[in-house]
Amino acid sequence: MPKQKAVLDTTVYVSALVREGTGALLVLSAAVANKFEPIVSPNMIDEIERVLRLRGMPSDDVAEFLGIWNLHAGLVIPSETIMACRDPDDDKFLEAAVAANADYIVTGDKDLRVLSPFRGIEIVTVNKFLRRLGFPR
């Protein structure tokens, strides 16, 4: 069975790296342990970098994280513009998921979750995604 692919929205990265949220940290650890393939796009990387810095993460730490993360994440260049979310800033996650033929978008954002499933892509919370990966939650 091919490895599942998941797009993690920026809230997951902030929760794991700035707030040290246990569930979000488990998701990042599962990606590093090769339990699923995280998907990113250039627009996502730009937002993750900007928001982590705004939330107080030192620039050197952000750069180090992104350098390591890029070794684990699949990079996609979306070819389709999607305008489906109430918050247009969130459409980038849909675009990346569609471009990668992802199985999941993992988010705490209700504006995204109300769209689930989106073109066959399940949009789930961190805890629900962890259950799908076999973690007891």
What CA–CA distance (Å, rounded) separates 65 from 94? Answer: 23
User: What is the pLDDT confidence band of residue 3, given thresholds at 50, 70 and 90?
Assistant: confident
Q: What are the structural domains, with CATH classification, of the chain?
A: 5-132 (3.40.50.1010)
Cα–Cα distance list, 14 to 2, 26, 34, 68 (Å): 28, 13, 21, 16
Predicted pLDDT of residue 21: 79
Note the pLDDT tens digit of each residue in 90-120: 999 999 999 999 999 999 999 999 999 999 9
* Crossing angle of helices 42-54 and 91-100, rounded to 10°: 140
What CA–CA distance (Å, rounded) separates 127 from 28? Answer: 13
- Position 30 pLDDT exceeds 70: yes
Predicted pLDDT of residue 19: 87
